[in-house]
Each structure stands twice: as C-alpha cells, then as structure tokens.
Structure 1
Amino acid sequence: MGTAAVVVYGATGHTGRFVVAELRRRGFAAVVSGRDASRLEELAAEWGDVEVRPATVDDAGSLDRALAGAAAVINCAGPFAVTAGPVVGAALRAGIPYLDVAAELEANVATFADHERAAAAAGTPVVPAMAFFGGLGDLLVTAAMGDWTSAEVAHVAYGLSSWHPTSGTRAAGRVSHERRAGRRVRFADGALRYHDDAVTEQDWVFPEPLGRRSVIAEFTMADAVTVPSHVAVPEVRTYMTVEAARDLAAADTPAPEPADELGRSDQTFVVDVVVGSGGVERRATARGRDIYAVTAPLVVEALERVLSGRTRTTGVASAGAMFDAPDFLRALAPYVSVELPH
C-alpha cells in the first residue's frame, strides 16, 4: 500500500478522531486537516505522530496543499452538503481516492450526480457514505441479495438502544431540514420522493434478544441513496427504533460520552435487513456498539481495500458496489458481528 499518508479532513470532530485512531492502529501515517489550525495542533500534540495541514473548503489552494502527495483522503467534516463537493474536487485534482462518512441524503445524491463522470474518466475511486448510515446497510443489502439481480423491496431497520447525537449530527440535520423545507423523503417507485405525510409508527421484529420493537416507519437514511445506486430495487424502506428517534429529536439529549477504553459510548445497535422478491425473503443482520465509533473500522477497512486494489469498480460507487460485501462484513470483526444468508 506504500508509505504515503492518508489525509483525514475533519480530524478534530467526534467521528474524525475515531478514524485517525483506527488509521494509526492499522499502521497508516495520518495527516490531520480541517479549518481549525489550533485544534489540529492540539490533536497532533496528543498523538505525536501525525502531520498537520490546515485547509478550508472555500480555499481550493489550501485543499490542494493538504492533499499533496497523499495516498487518499477521508472526509469526516460535516455538513457534507458544504464539504463533500470541494474535497471530492481536490481529490480528483490530486488523483487520489476519496471516501467520506456522509449520512446526509442530499449530499450523497450530489456526490453521485456531480462527480460520477469525472471520477470514472480518471479511474479514481470515490466512495460516499462509507459509514454506519449508508455504508453498513448497503453492504448488508448486497450480501442478502446474494445471486439475485433485482428485488422488489429492501428493508433496513435500525435497532439503536439510544441515540446521543454529536454536534455534527445536529448541524447536518438542520441543513437537511432546510434543504427539504421541512418535508420528509422516501425512496419509492425507483426515485427519491418528498412528501408531507405524518410520521407513523409500526412494529419491527428484530432477531432476538432485541425482539419486537416500535419503530418510526420511513425514517429515511442514506441507504435510500446508496442501495439503489447499484441494486435494481424500486423501494428502499428504512426504520428507526422509537426510543432512538426521540433521543435525536430532543434538544436536551447530551452528546455521546466514552464508556470503555476505546472511547466508545454504551450505545448498542442491531441493523436488520430484509430483501424481498417473488414472495421470498432473505435476511442479513449486524450487531455492534456505538454508531460513531464503528464508522472508523468501516471506512478504514474500505480504505485498505481501495489502496490494495480489492475493489469491483471505480469512479463514484457505494460500499456494496465497490466491495465484496460478505467478505467485507466478516472482516469487521470484532467490532461488528454479522449473520448472513448461507
């Protein structure tokens, strides 16, 4: 994989710090980047073996300097509606792979729409939403599909024990809310569709021990962009446990706090995927801890595979299109345990 460093843009954020730690754990040299030079210097002093290259998304030259000579860039800086376009552009100018952890639907739509042609022409991998939301669900759907070439529907149910949002999550949510003018969104009849329908609840039967839980129906996440980007499926439906949705909605829910030696919170999750076609269903499930912390092994595993050539395509592609989904999911142990169709 060479000795060139990996740039983490947004390294001082909650998820960014997990990503830098995972890179260092796996032996990568890391460059920390972002707009706050003093915070970057504090991070460098804490770790001692990372290089600092400040950059801002409104200064293309600073981004070019930050990415000069790098092996790849991982964008962890939200809102991605603001950062993704400029950082993808800088990666394409540098001729290096780009990965991000964007959960924002509109930002991911824009990455595919705005950069697909240039990335394909350059033969440069661009992997958006390589995170808990958008990446893990896409990999599970792809693994559940197996030898199917299409499905009638893909369900992605999120069983979170709680949700203590970071400041970045709240900021991204505000941006998305403004861009949608308060409307909700679903993926139906082969397209993202905005609507004003009331929020509804239903039951979802997760694998034991979680079991039957009340969920918010049509709690649409980035899977509604990543899955149909490569799977022939007219409907992608995502669900969220009611308790977690209420945590997210409450203004006084505190940010996550570390509860173990890795800095993870005590939040646990189950992601339960069911794909259906012709009356037959296939299921794939993942379990783990801390949706922010688990994004680090997800995106760094993707990075390792991109840099070592273990990919299935190039240009802009989601996790399920870019990688061997069952093999990727099994490689996430011990952070994620999976149950896949035989």
Structure 2
Amino acid sequence: MPTSHPFLLYGATGYTGRLLARAAKERGLRPILGGRDEARLAALASELGLEYRVARLDAGLDEALRDVAAVLHVAGPFSKTFRPMVEACLRTATHYLDLSGEPLSIEGVFQHHMEARRRGVMLMPGVGFDVVPSDCLALHLSRRLRGARRLKLGISGLDQVSRGSFRTLADNAGLPSHIRRDGRIREIVSGSLQHEFDFGTGPRQGLVVSWGDVSAAYYSTGIPDIEVYWDSTPPLWMMVMANRWAGGLLATPLSRFMLEVHARVLPEGPTSAERARCQGVIVAEVEDAAGRRLRGRLRTPEVYGFSCTTGLAILERVLAGDLEIGAQTPARVYGPDFVLSLPGVFREEL
C-alpha cells in the first residue's frame, strides 16, 4: 500500500494535532483531518488543502474511518478517548496508533489483543515521545543484560507542556502513581519513590510518576519490575508534592473545575522558539537478580516535534504494510534501533 494512502488524523485541531497535520503534509502524506469541531477542522483543512471529517467519539466514528487504512489518534486525555476509537477500529478493520502516555490507557489497548488478531488489525499505543525512545532504549539494554528483572527509567525535557498535556495531568490530580511489581501494575503514593539519574549534567533526583512505559516496556522486554521517574524540576516537584499531600482535595469537583479554568487560560503549547531550546533525555537502568546493572542514555529533539517524527515514521511503515497484527509496542515490532534511524537521536551506554 503506498504511503500516500490517506489516513485519519483524529484530534487534528489540538496543539499536537496541528503540528502533526503540517508535518504530515511536509512529508508528502495527505491525512484526513478528524475531530468534533467542524469550524476549526474546516479552517485547518482549508489552510493545508486537506479533506476533513467531523465525528464525535460517541457517534460517527465508523463512517469517519471508511476507506482509510489507519488512524493516528491524538485526542486526549486518552483514558477517556482510547476505548471508543479502538472499538471503532476493530469494527472497521482499521489499524490504530495513538500518542498516549498513560499506562492504564495503554494497558486497556492491550486488553483488545486477541480481538485485534482476529480482525487482522494492529493496535499500537504510544507512538510519540512516550513511548518510542524509552521503549527502544529499554529493549536495547534488556537484550544486553539477559534476565533483567528491574527497569528504572528517568525522563527529562518535559518543562514545557501543552494545554492538552496539562489537562491530562489535571485529570490525574489526586490519583496515585503507577509502577509495575512482579508483572502487575500497582498503585503507590505520588512522589513516594525517588531515584538519581544522570541526564548528562551530573546526578539529579527523579520523582516517580505514572508513565506509559509502566505498561509498554513490560510487553517489549518482559521485565516484571518497572518504575518511571521525571527529572524533578521545581514545577514538577511542587505538582507532585501537592498531589501527595493534598491529593484528596485535588480530586474534588471544585478543584477539578479550578484546574480546568487554569487550563483554559494557558497558552495552547510552547512556541517554536521555546521548543527549539529544548531536548529530550532518557536514562534507563536495568538490573538482574544477581545485582548486575547496565545503564544507557538517549537524547532526542524536543518532545512535541519528536512525537510528530516518531508517529509519522511509524504511520508510514503501517501504510506500507510493515506491521504485526494484535496489540503491539513500537520497539517490539520495529526493534530497539528504530529510534536511531530518526534525525537528532543519540544513544550511549554509561
């Protein structure tokens, strides 16, 4: 199937969706823009010379997915949006990709593995910055240290967040963080675990967070104990500590309303100049039962632009027929060195 075959970009009018739409056109792709707001879709489609289709998640998805091979789903929070889109893709035999970084959402996609195999469909969540580079680094190290039982990942470069990303964080306010123990996802108090990582400027403290690799890395590597940490910048520290000590208050309807009000006045996302000053850094540490450890570090371009690069690179492979049916992870299908084929990526072992 030629890579020029149209695909549906659902959530096209959001911050990341618009970045993806423009990047796709620059790569010679012609996405069909999808979403629920016809006025915004029509304006973006007119600007880019693309087709658009209006569909809500509770109505019209099957019709929107007609005659497309794949959907790139970028409308979050994915905890609220992944299920209707996955179910529509299974009904219409459409391959499903998304940019989710939420472990429970990724886990939910994997619950449809057997049905996806019966339908001949690939479901691949996490094709953006989360989880492509971390997934590839984790699989690379796990193959170097056979029998690894523990994986710790540190993520840096998330200083700038879009309005949509803030809404996802707000949606999880007051909720516990997630880690994996003995192969099972478990809840822990936010901020209750810390670990040092060297992101390239010396040791820095990381705070445990819920991140997609808690789910995806398990399916890629089989490692039963997985924790993910963010570089503890001052804003993150304040947010995690507020969640830890006032979690119950943050989960009340009034607090969620106030967080939504705050989201509405935020800039829609970092400017191109702000993004140009940033980069993503991922550090992974694997350990086996004997205590032997191996560490690696991966550098990427800034996270929003890089999510466009990874998502569209995987989409092109899917449209060309390079895929495996069932629920899959990026590293498992495309290998640990896939990320090194993308511009601006550097990997080193520590």
Partner of 2:306: 294
Equivalent residue for 1:39?
A: 40
Unaligned runs of 5+ in 1: none
* Structure with greater proportional helix content: 2
SS at match of 1:88: helix
Relative distance call for 1:248 and 1:149 in structure 2 (3 A) is same
Instruction: Give the alignment partner of residue 173 of structure 1, picking from 169, 180, 187.
Output: 169
Question: 1:258·1:266 contact (CA, 8 Å) conserved in 2?
Answer: no
> Structure 2: which amino acid aligns with 1:81?
S
CA distance in 2, matches of 1:297, 1:77: 17
> How far is the alpha carbon of 1:221 from its aligned partner?
0.7
Contact 1:75–1:101, Cα closer than 8 Å, also in 2 = yes
Q: Is the 8 A contact 2:9 2:73 kept in 1?
A: yes
Query: How far apart, CA to CA, are the structure 1 residues paired with 2:22 and 2:143?
Result: 33
Q: For 1:84 and 1:126, how far apart are their aligned partners in 2?
A: 11
Aligned counterparts, 1:11-30, within 5 A:
11-30=12-31
Among candidates 196, 208, 211, match of residue 189 of structure 2: 196
Question: What residue in structure 2 maps to residue 339 of structure 1?
Answer: 347
| Cα 1:287/1:81, change in 2 over 3 Å | same
- Mapped partners of 2:133, 2:191: distance in 1: 28
Q: How many residues align?
A: 325
Task: Tell me which amino acid in the other structure corresponds to 1:338.
Answer: F
Cross-structure match for 2:330:
319
Q: Give the corresponding residue for 1:121.
A: 118
Equivalent residue for 1:53? 53
TM-score normalised to the size of structure 2?
0.85
One-letter amino acid of the structure 2 residue matched with residue 305 of structure 1: R
Q: Sort the Cα spacing of 1:148 and 1:309 in 2 relative to 1 into closer, same or farther, 3 A.
A: farther
Three-state SS of the structure 1 residue aligned to 2:131 is: helix
Does the alignment pair 1:100 with 2:98? yes
Q: Is the 8 A contact 1:149 1:232 kept in 2?
A: no
CA–CA separation in structure 2 for the residues paired with 1:173 and 1:241: 16
The structural deviation recorded for 1:68 is 0.9
Encode CA deviations 1:146-165: one digit per residue, 9 max, x unaligned. 355541111111122x5222
Equivalent in the alignment of 1:211: 202
Distance 1:169 1:247, change over 3 A: farther
1:330: Cα distance to partner? 1.5
Q: Quick one: structure 1 residues 152 and 34, their matched pair in 2 at CA, closer, same or farther if it must change by over 3 Å?
A: same
Deviation at 1:300, TM superposition (A): 1.0
CA contact 1:130–1:136 (8 Å) conserved in 2: no
Letter in 1 for 2:312: V
- Root-mean-square deviation (CA, aligned residues, Å) is 2.4
Deviating more after overlay: 14-23 vs 4-13: 14-23
The Cα shift of 1:288 comes to 2.5
Percent identity reads 25
- Structure 2, gaps ≥5 residues long: 243-258
- Give the one of 207, 225, 229 matched to 2:219: 229
Aligned pairs for 1:258-273 within 5 A: 258-260=271-273, 264-273=275-284
Q: Does the aligned pair in 1 maintain the 2:15–2:162 contact within 8 Å? A: yes
Kept in 2, the 8 Å contact 1:135–1:223? The answer is: no
Out of 173, 179, 199, the residue aligned to residue 186 of structure 1 is 179
SS of the residue aligned with 1:171? Answer: helix
TM-score of the two chains, using structure 1 as the length reference: 0.87
Quick one: structure 1 residues 197 and 292, their matched pair in 2 at CA, closer, same or farther if it must change by over 3 Å? closer
Summarize the Cα distance change of 1:198–1:73 in structure 2 as closer, same or farther, 3 Å threshold: closer
Cα distance, 1:279–1:201 mapped onto 2, change above 3 Å: closer
Q: Is the 8 A contact 1:192 1:224 kept in 2?
A: yes
Per-residue deviation, 1:248:
6.0
Cα distance in 1 between the residues matched to 2:214 and 2:188: 15
